[in-house]
Amino acid sequence: MASATASTTPQISREVDTDQLATVATDAQPRRRRPRGTGSLARRMMLIAAGWISLLLLIGGVFLDRTLTSQVTRSFDEQLGYMLTGMIGSAEIGPDGEVFFNRPLGDQRFLEPNSGLYWQIRGKGHEDFPSRSLWDRSLQVPEKHFDTQPHTYDSNQFAGEPLRVMERSIILPGSRTEWMFTVAASREQLNEQIKSIRSILFYSFLGLGLGLLAMAGIQTWYGLFPLRHVRRAIRRLRTTGASKVTEPLPHEVQPLVEELNALLEHTDRQAEEARTHAGNLAHALKTPLTVVMNAATARAPDLGDTVIREAGVMRRQVDHHLARARAVGRRAAGLSRAGVWPSLEAVLRAVERLYGATRFDLAGNRDAMVALERQDLEELLGNVIENAAKYGGGSVFVTVDETKDPRWCEIWIEDDGLGIPEAERTRIFDRGARLDTGKPGTGLGLAIVRDVAEIYGGSVELDESEDLGGLLVKLKLPRAVG
């Protein structure tokens, strides 16, 4: 009965500086400092909402102010236009060549001095014909131009009384004079209307803006409320020992929770791996320590040789499990890459020195690449190939890339030994399990192979070799991308 157990896979021994490890451990302790954040999500959302609402209200307010002001001014100008048209329609030229009205104008304010509504007719070479409301004043209108259409403008010619002026040039029947008809009205009423409109707009838009900001605040509070559920759920994870968040959450938050659950699962898996490695190391160190203790108790004459030999065994075990820890770290980096064929050749050169009578054959894809560190790949292959040489009948056959799956690379290691019964193939992966105690070993070989393969997402499977009749070990490793 053959046993799949590890022995002395060639690897580089490394000294561990305890002072340096203590320094690293001290530096690795978390500092009780609150991490610097990137600001509040609620504040960001409110600032964006406030800026956008203010911009839209400003643009809308300016546009509405211009529109309403233009409408009120146009209505005011239309009233002036009606008066100007009435003046022109009532004007005639008298026998003396002067202009007069054949009927009085309808608005009583033209007869009241300084009433705020005025008219005036001016012609070159003629005296001005003003309304009584002008009293002792006259409207100053530009000369040397002829307006065939009503011309409207603002004027400040009367102190303290801004005017809205409309004028038009007319040549009346029976006269060759260019008469300038002018009507003017105080802007006080117009300005009051515009001021009232702007006041209504300001307070209306202010109320609308505050209402929109309040709505944005409520929306932000309600929209971000599920994040408080996540916070409480994480607090429960820390206080109750639960392994994942199970609360139903909105679709937008659910991916975050799924990633958090995946992270927690990954952390639990790493913790389990750490416990497993600690158990492996404790099991591996127990036997050498027992041997040293027994030799020291019995005051054996070869105590020094025993201590040196067992210390070497313990040192190899420590180096091995440190390599496992490094494999976990390199797996997290996600940049591992190694060629299978060069690693196989390196392992075979080392194993052939120990088992020179064994025949080793390689076949398969020479260009296969796997997503492992080369050191870890060689340790996997070294454990399996050395077991095949140790417990086989003299022949070991290795096939590379047996499957053409683009995601995986399978490496088959076959020997012509007695193999392992199917009922024992699961138990042989346990730490310290050995089926053949007659040969030296630690009982960690296939357990280490399984652990390292699973660290990188692969697997190991035992079967019976159809060609050689012995044990077939199938290593399934992730293929390197690119």
For residue 252, pLDDT beyond 60: yes
Residue 355 CA, distance from chain mean position: 56
For residue 15, pLDDT beyond 50: no
For residue 214, pLDDT beyond 80: yes
Start-to-end CA span in the chain (Å):
43
For residue 72, pLDDT beyond 90: yes
Give me the pLDDT at residue 54, please: 92
Between 345 and 286, residue with greater pLDDT: 345
Side-chain-side CA neighbours of residue 296 (13 Å): 9
Q: Which domains does the chain possess?
A: 41-242 (no CATH), 244-333 (1.10.287), 334-482 (3.30.565.10)
- d(CA 434, CA 442) in angstroms, rounded, equals 8
- Please say whether the beta carbons of 205 and 56 come within 8 A: no
CB atoms within 10 A of CB 99: 20
For residue 3, pLDDT beyond 50: no
For residue 468, pLDDT beyond 50: yes
Residue 65 class from Cβ within 10 Å (0-12 exposed, 13-18 middle, 19+ buried)?
middle
Amino acid at 42: A
Residue 444: strand, helix, or coil: coil
pLDDT digits (tens, 9 = 90+) for 299-329: 888 888 888 887 877 776 776 677 666 666 5
Residue 191 CA, distance from chain mean position: 54
Between 129 and 429, residue with greater pLDDT: 129
- d(CA 441, CA 457) in angstroms, rounded, equals 27
Beta bridge mates, 228: none
Q: Residues 137-154: what's their mean pLDDT?
A: 83
Give me the pLDDT at residue 28, please: 44
pLDDT digits (tens, 9 = 90+) for 28-42: 444 555 556 567 888
Give me the pLDDT at residue 323, please: 62
Between 349 and 147, residue with greater pLDDT: 349
Q: Residues 272-290: what's their mean pLDDT?
A: 77
Give me the pLDDT at residue 335, please: 63
For residue 418, pLDDT beyond 60: yes
Q: Which pLDDT band holds residue 433 (cuts at 50, 70, 90)?
A: very low
Give me the pLDDT at residue 17, please: 43
- d(CA 284, CA 292) in angstroms, rounded, equals 14
Q: Residues 219-223: what's their mean pLDDT?
A: 86
The mean predicted confidence, pLDDT, of the chain is 81
What proportion of the chain, given as a percentage, has pLDDT over 90? 29
What proportion of the chain, given as a percentage, has pLDDT over 70? 84
Helical axes 374-391 vs 340-354, angle rounded to 10°:
40
